[in-house]
Structure formats: C-alpha cells, structure tokens
Structure 1
C-alpha cells in the first residue's frame, strides 16, 4: 500500500491525489497536521532521500527560520515544524518519492 504524507490544503498534494485516483492507484493519505509523524518515520524519509531533497526551502516556514536553524536542520526542528517537509512524500515498496511529478509517478501505475 502506498502512503502519501503531507497537508490536505497543499496544491501539490491535491494534484498527486487527483493523478493517483484517476489512474485507480490505491493510497493512504496521512495529514501531518492531524497525525504528526513519528521520529522514526521522519528519520526513514531522511535516510531514504537525504535532508536536501526532504526540506522545502521555498516554504514560508523555512524562510522564517533563523540562519542558525537553517544551518542546523534536525529531526526535532522538523517534528516541531512538519511544513518544512517538501510535499507530497510518497512511500512505496520501491522507496520514497518527494514532490509531485507526473513522470515520476508513472511507474506507480
């Protein structure tokens, strides 16, 4: 089963959900705000793709961080501010995909 992590009002989440639903791909959506992710899950994201791909540096949350926080991204900081995570995070049996891209999602069909 595919798991999609994000926040429900995110445009990228909406596009990804529409794409997968239109193609009959089953997935479970987990909203960071309603169901906070565990430290273990977050660490698995970081281990799978690295901090650079995982952090949304264009987000308002990231821009509002201090320079020190930007230089020292940590599990604790992200757990406190889950909107720092680029969305969606798709967890499949073949690994983790970050962000929405139709070409990237084609292999899920």
Structure 2
C-alpha cells in the first residue's frame, strides 16, 4: 500500500484518518494542503477515482464566493479554479495508488488492507 493523506491540521477528519492508519501500523505520507498544494496530476487522478471534480468540492467550505464561482464557471475551467482554491476540497483526501476517498471513510480503507 502506498497511502497519501491530503488534509489540514485543523481538520478533525484528517486527524482521524492519520490515527486510523497509525493504529494499524500502515505507513502513510501526510501532505498539509495549506503548505503544499495538490498537483494537477494528483487532482485529476483523485477526481477520476471519486466520480468527478465536483464530487471533490466541500459544500460547507468557508469561502462561499469561491464555491459559488466554481459552480457556475465552464467545466473546462473548473480544474484550474480548484487548483487555485484547494481550501474548497473535502478533506481528508486519502489516496492508495489509483484509489481515493474523500472525508473520513474507514470502511473503504479497511478493504484496502
């Protein structure tokens, strides 16, 4: 397994995801989205694993202006806008190769073991 967790230090679900993998002795790489953004390739890979870019967006994100904008711009511009506004992504994003989840999903992660 090659686990990557994209999250933020303030996100409780990101902390719970870290604990889930630590308790099972599974090594993972933690990436703080406030310090290092997801690359275009990473985001495209996650989007394809979770059923599209719009599924990655957290409807409860604090930046309501960016949320509204991304909802109404042309589909071909959404990837670039989400790359610029990664605070809109539902966290944690947990990747295992080509598989990925959004939010705290221990039931899915157990199947990866």
Q: Same fold (TM over 0.5)?
A: yes
User: What 5-or-longer segments of structure 2 have no aligned partner?
Assistant: none
1:32 shift after superposition: 1.3
1:75 is displaced (CA, Å) by: 1.6
- Residue in 1 aligned with 2:87? 83
Residue by residue, what CA displacement relative to the aligned partner does 1:39-62 show, whole Å, maximum 9, x if unpaired?
22112222222123211111112x
Quickly say closer, same or farther: Cα 1:77–1:3, change in 2 above 3 A. Answer: same
Partner of 1:58: 60
Question: Which string of whole-angstrom CA distances, capped at 9 and with x for unpartnered residues, describes residues 84-109 of structure 1?
Answer: 11111111135111111222222233
Question: How far apart are the structure 1 equivalents of 2:20 and 2:112?
Answer: 11
Kept in 1: contact 2:47–2:53 (CA 8 A):
yes
- Among 92, 104, 110, the residue aligned to 1:106: 110
The equivalences for 1:1-109 within 5 A come to: 1-49=2-50, 50-61=52-63, 63-65=64-66, 67-72=68-73, 74-93=78-97, 95-109=99-113
Question: For the structure 1 residues 76 and 16, does the alpha-carbon distance in structure 2 shift closer, same or farther, using more than 3 Å as the test?
Answer: same
TM-score, L = length of structure 1: 0.85
Range 9-18 or range 34-43, more displaced: 34-43
CA distance in structure 1 between the partners assigned to 2:88 and 2:36 by the alignment: 16
RMSD: 1.9
